[in-house]
């Protein structure tokens, strides 16, 4: 009896070729990486704007010559903050005399003001002929500007002027009277007395009151941009050509920049 041999062919799968994944998978992975990078960037930006720095523009003359209209500031929001969690990382310190601060205007917290700290809690403040005395001692105010020759009893001899300024809020007038002793304003705990460096033309603590500690946003860190008001004037002929107008505006913007003020630290 003869043997019958049956050969069975078994298909062996060929090995998959080595190399990168198909193009659709690579594109999908690239999109995920892009989204992750964007999300991280947004989170970092939100953290910085919320906790560390914020941009502000100077809108008035009240801090001239220290800060001018058209100065753009980065404000250090961490400088005066207090937190048990962040104190090891961020350099907190209390507000001190002569500090320049950005704060929410107490009468309308939607507005931001920038002024110089003259009085801290416990200080006794008075002005005599425009010059500041703190706890009976005259203060060095070489940074201050006095542009008006006309004397104003209220503005220049606060709070012992015997007169009422025309821009004083009624609530502050009554409170200031209660805080005044021996012709000096006593700064209560949790509040600060501030003045503008442009002493004759500044709407400050003399007129609307004290700055609560919780209203303080931070201190100016650096002037990152500065340009004078109304620096670009385009004539009628230039206006007829939009491209020329744009080019002219860009050139004038660069020419009009106050380069000497950029990257200056206000003090």
The catalytic residue positions are: 62, 115
124-128 sheet: strands from edge to edge:
137-138, 131-134, 124-128, 184-186, 180-181
CA distance linking residue 57 with residue 232, whole number of Å: 18
Residue 133 C-alpha from the chain's centroid: 28
Backbone dihedral angles phi then psi of residue 224, each to the nearest 5 degrees: -100, -10
Rounded to whole angstroms, the Cα distance separating 200 from 150 reads 9
Task: State whether residue 76 is helix, strand or coil.
Answer: strand
What's the longest Cα–Cα distance across the chain? 139
Number of neighbours of residue 133 by Cβ within 10 angstroms: 15
By CB atoms closer than 10 A (0-12, 13-18, 19+), residue 206 is: buried
Distance CA 167, CA 178 (A): 19
Query: Could you tell me which residues come within 8 angstroms of residue 77 by beta carbon, excluding any fewer than 6 positions away?
Result: 51, 52, 53, 54, 217, 218
């Amino acid at each position: 009896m003869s043997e019958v041999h049956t050969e069975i062919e078994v298909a062996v799968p060929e090995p998959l070729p080595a190399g990168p994944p198909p193009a659709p998978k690579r594109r999908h992975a690239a999109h995920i990486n892009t989204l992750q990078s964007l999300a991280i960037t947004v989170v970092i930006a939100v953290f910085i704007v919320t906790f560390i720095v914020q941009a502000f523009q100077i809108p008035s003359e009240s801090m001239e010559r220290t800060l001018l209209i058209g100065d753009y500031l980065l404000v250090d929001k961490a400088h005066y903050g207090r937190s048990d969690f962040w104190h090891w990382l961020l350099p907190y310190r209390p507000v001190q005399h002569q500090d320049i601060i950005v704060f929410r205007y107490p009468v309308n917290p939607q507005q931001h003001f920038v002024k110089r700290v003259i009085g801290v809690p416990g200080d006794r403040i008075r002005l005599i002929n425009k010059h500041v005395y703190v706890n009976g001692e005259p203060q060095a105010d070489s940074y201050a500007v006095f542009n008006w020759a006309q004397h104003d009893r209220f503005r220049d001899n606060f709070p012992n002027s015997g007169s009422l300024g025309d821009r004083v809020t009624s609530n502050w007038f009554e409170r200031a009277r209660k805080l005044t002793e021996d012709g000096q304003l006593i700064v209560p705990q949790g509040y600060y007395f501030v003045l503008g460096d442009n002493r004759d033309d500044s709407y400050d603590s003399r007129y609307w009151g004290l700055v609560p500690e919780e209203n303080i946003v931070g201190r100016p860190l650096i002037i990152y941009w500065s340009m004078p008001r109304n620096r670009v004037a385009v004539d009628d002929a230039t206006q007829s050509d939009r491209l020329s107008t744009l080019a002219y505006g860009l050139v004038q913007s660069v020419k009009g920049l106050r380069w000497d003020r950029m990257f200056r630290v206000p003090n």
